[in-house]
Structure 1
Amino acid sequence: MGEQVTGIGIVGTGVISGTYLDHLAKLPGVEVVAVADLDISRAQAIADQRPGVRALSSDDLLADPAVDIVLNLTIPAAHAPVHQAALQAGKHTYGEKPLAVDRAEAEPLLKLAAANNLRIGCAPDTVLGTGTQTARAVLDRGDIGVPTAASASFVTPGHELWHPAPEFYYQPGGGPLLDMGPYYVTSLVTLLGPVRRVTGRAGRSQEQRKVHTGPRAGETFPVDVPTHVTGVLEHESGALTTVLMSFDVWAARLPRIEVYGTEGSLSVPDPNGFDGKVELVTASNREWTEVPVAGGYAGAGRGVGLADMARAIRTGEPHRANGTLAYHVLDVLESLLEAAAQDQPVDVASTVDRPAAVPLGASPESS
């Protein structure tokens, strides 16, 4: 009997789709069979370059029996509607982050999937690579004792400096917290467990921003979301994480993620990447020392979470980049914005189990 292959249909063929297509072609157990886009010429251009991939309308893709999982690569505002349409068509669905623009959109998706015995998966899957998973292994084996605190920061002067159509980064579902926060909070939950309460402050430096590149360079557009958010996440374990997410900072010397414990400190690489250097300081060795790779999918790229999900569907096991985790991350991020707006702490209503660690040497087809 040959290897089981799960058919993938991509809805949305923007910039990120090329990265997914490249990496999915290298992964076992999954095959892209169809693509769809509002601009059918973009979908057709992909199909023309990739044998076996068909360009379809979204409706035809959702109805295609060869499509087992819909990969949703639309803009944030369309994430929930496309997920819903896929689930209603009887398809499993996996998408880019965030799961939806808010909890009110996201929660019905989880209920719909559960009622129909379907799976939802959601990026980021970067946490399944050797970077975050090596850090997870360090924590799980007790190298820094009991984790008590962490720090996480992402700063940039703004995506309009490089993106030719950056408006969606400054609309609901965007902003530094919902754009980059999912990478950081997903990594923090993977490392330290779920979050039970948040406090925060938020602001914006400009009411209008300007496109800097492409054919629309010089055009201005409104800013509808906070562009600088800072706060504290209280994990159910009792650990406290300080977070800073900003589109208002030109440069800073800040750690991406560090975790502090009773017996040492841990430096975690950029959670927007799959690998990177993990470093450790302990009570017995006060110099930062690189940690050998101790877990994670080696050589991983975008789509490894989708392959992990496809394998889990076939075996009946839980998948790691799952909808419940994505919902909890969204809940944390939205609660942080609410805490800033209300000027008081906000309890996070949802919770989630830490996803299973990815063992050293694992493959998405066998882990």
Structure 2
Amino acid sequence: MGEPLRVGVVGCGVISNAYLTTAAGTDELEIVAVADLDRTRAEDAGRRHDVPVLDLPDLLAHDGVEWVLDLTTPGAHEEVALAAIAHGRSVYNEKPLCATVAQARRVVDAATAAGVSVGGAPDTVLGTGVQTARAAVESGAIGRPVAATATMASGGHESWHPHPDFYYAPGGGPLLDMGPYYLTALVHLLGPVTAVQGVATRPRAHRTIGQGPRAGEQVPVDVATHVTALVEHASGAVTTLLMSFDAPASLARPLEIHGEQGSLLVPDPNRFDGDVQVHARGDEWRTLPPSAGYAGAGRGAGLVDAARSADRRTTRASADVALHVLDTMETVLRAADAGARLEVASTCDVPPLVPLTDLASRPEA
């Protein structure tokens, strides 16, 4: 059945627990070690998940590490990735791939030159929610897709996160933080993006931390916190996108896809599962059973996907898609500044559909 994919984790913040839990639930990933600039935080993660703790240089130089999982903040992604690539490691970055497209291109170019791979979150799109919706679209259940809406409306992460500073620093904001989930799903469902228009606002200059040791402390807001966009896909479909940290509550559906013969409700792309509902013309809403995707998936499914590939370096959570999504988001913000429709310079290949598979069970040889 082959050896597990050996992974070194850099960054032991809040999201690391989800990745380490997924790794513990499958025999296809082995966490070789964890590292963090805050040694105490790394040691806490090491104790909770029973994995060794190393300093970053030692982790990168460890002969047993094949992939480096970079869970640092976006501003550190390029530096960590380039250091890992220089040691001959493949790299899987949390979203966004890097803080800027220029940084992401340097990482991808370095990996190509070194003969290693780059992957990037989100891998939530590989779960049964988005993949079942994609199977429905590809089967013709709603006819030719013509339009979509994507809505993420939140009051901001400072209400729950004890250290929300990076959400409001360059590389953060609702579009770069949450947009990857929605735009990656839309790329899987409707294909790559060709052009965008946008409007972006920043109603408040500061945010107040709601809980934890820094409760009551204000953090500066240096990015747009409410972004709307029109997104044109190569397929001809057009998406209306809203990403906001200025909306305390909303009843809007996360994703709706509308076709010539029907409509599709797609579950929250920040989750791996959820009900997919379809409404064909002349029919009623009905829930589709899961028909594609990794069942029981969690953060790290993209690395499991790499472990199952023939070369242990190919993942559907690819840098190709992640860079295109980052390029799309950066172009939206430039379009908002310019008040213009701008073409997206990059494109990508849409990864193959994931057959309905239990993530915890290896496929038969």
Do the aligned partners of 2:306 and 2:312 also contact (CA within 8 Å) in 1?
Answer: no
- Residue 339 of structure 1 is matched in structure 2 by 335
Distance 1:222 1:165 in 2: 12
Relative distance call for 1:19 and 1:133 in structure 2 (3 A) is same
Matched AA of 1:322: S
| 1:128-207 aligned within 5 A | 128-207=126-205
Q: After superposition, what is the alpha-carbon deviation per residue over 1:80-117, rounded to whole angstroms, capped at 9, x for unaligned?
A: 11111111110001021000111111111111111111
Q: How does 1:256-267 map to 2 (within 5 A)?
A: 256-267=254-265
Correspondence for 2:348: 352
1:27, CA displacement in angstroms?
2.0
Match 1:291 to one of 281, 288, 293:
288
Q: Distance in 2 between matches of 1:106 and 1:266?
A: 33
Deviations 1:280-317 (A, max 9, x none): 000141x211011110001101101111123226367x
Residue identity in the other structure for 2:311: R
The equivalent residue for 2:299 is 302
Kindly, what percent of the aligned residue pairs are identical? 50
Aligned residues of 2:292 and 2:356 also touching (Cα < 8 A): yes
Amino acid at match of 1:235: H
Q: Hey, what does 2:42 align to over in structure 1?
A: 43
Q: Which amino acid aligns with 2:280?
A: T
d(CA) in 1 for partners of 2:161, 2:48: 25
Partner of 1:6: 5
Q: Secondary structure at the match of 1:55?
A: coil
* Aligned residue identity for 2:35: A
Query: In 2 relative to 1, CA 293–106 (structure 1 residues): closer, same or farther, beyond 3 Å?
Result: same
Relative distance call for 1:365 and 1:119 in structure 2 (3 A) is farther
Q: Distance in 1 between matches of 2:251 and 2:40?
A: 43
User: How far did 1:166 drift?
Assistant: 0.8
Q: Distance in 2 between matches of 1:216 and 1:39?
A: 17
Alignment of 1:241-260 (within 5 A): 241-260=239-258
Which position in structure 2 is the counterpart of 1:76? 74
1:335–1:365 distance in 2 versus 1, CA, 3 Å: farther
Normalised by the size of structure 2, how large is the TM-score? 0.96
Offset at residue 121 of structure 1 (A): 0.8
Q: Runs of 5+ in structure 2 lacking a partner?
A: none
Residues 193 and 328 of structure 2 are in contact (CA less than 8 Å); yes or no, is this contact kept in structure 1?
yes
Partners of 2:210 and 2:216 within 8 A in 1: yes
Equivalence for 2:19: 20
Q: Contact 1:263–1:282 at 8 Å: present in 2 too?
A: yes
**Any idea what SS the aligned residue of 2:158 has?**
helix
Q: Is the 8 A contact 1:152 1:256 kept in 2?
A: yes
Q: Does 1:314 align with 2:315?
A: no
Q: What number of residue pairs does the alignment pair up?
A: 363
Q: 1:50 to 1:193 in 2, by over 3 A?
A: same
RMSD of Structure 2 on Structure 1 (CA): 1.4
Change in 2 beyond 3 A, CA 1:109/1:365: farther
Q: Which residue of 1 aligns with 2:92?
A: 94
1:266, CA displacement in angstroms?
0.3
Q: Which moved more, 1:68-77 or 1:356-365?
A: 356-365
Counterpart residue type for residue 30 of structure 2 = E
How far did 1:47 drift? 2.6
The 8 Å contact of residues 24 and 304 in structure 1, kept in 2 or not, is answered as no
Contact 1:10 1:73 survives alignment (8 Å):
yes
In the TM superposition, residue 353 of structure 1 has moved relative to its aligned partner by 0.9
1:362 Cα offset (Å): 5.8
Q: Tell me the SS of whatever aligns to 1:7.
A: strand
1:365 shift after superposition: 4.6
Q: Which one-letter code corresponds to 1:143 in the other structure?
A: A
Write the letter of the residue equivalent to 2:219: F
Does structure 1 conserve the Cα–Cα contact (< 8 Å) formed by 2:296 and 2:358? no
| 1:204-215 paired onto structure 2 within 5 Å | 204-215=202-213
Q: Does 1:276 align with 2:277?
A: no
- Paired amino acid for 1:28: D
Answer whether contact 2:155 2:248 (CA < 8 A) is retained.
yes
- Alpha-carbon distance in structure 2 between the residues aligned to 1:95 and 1:222: 26
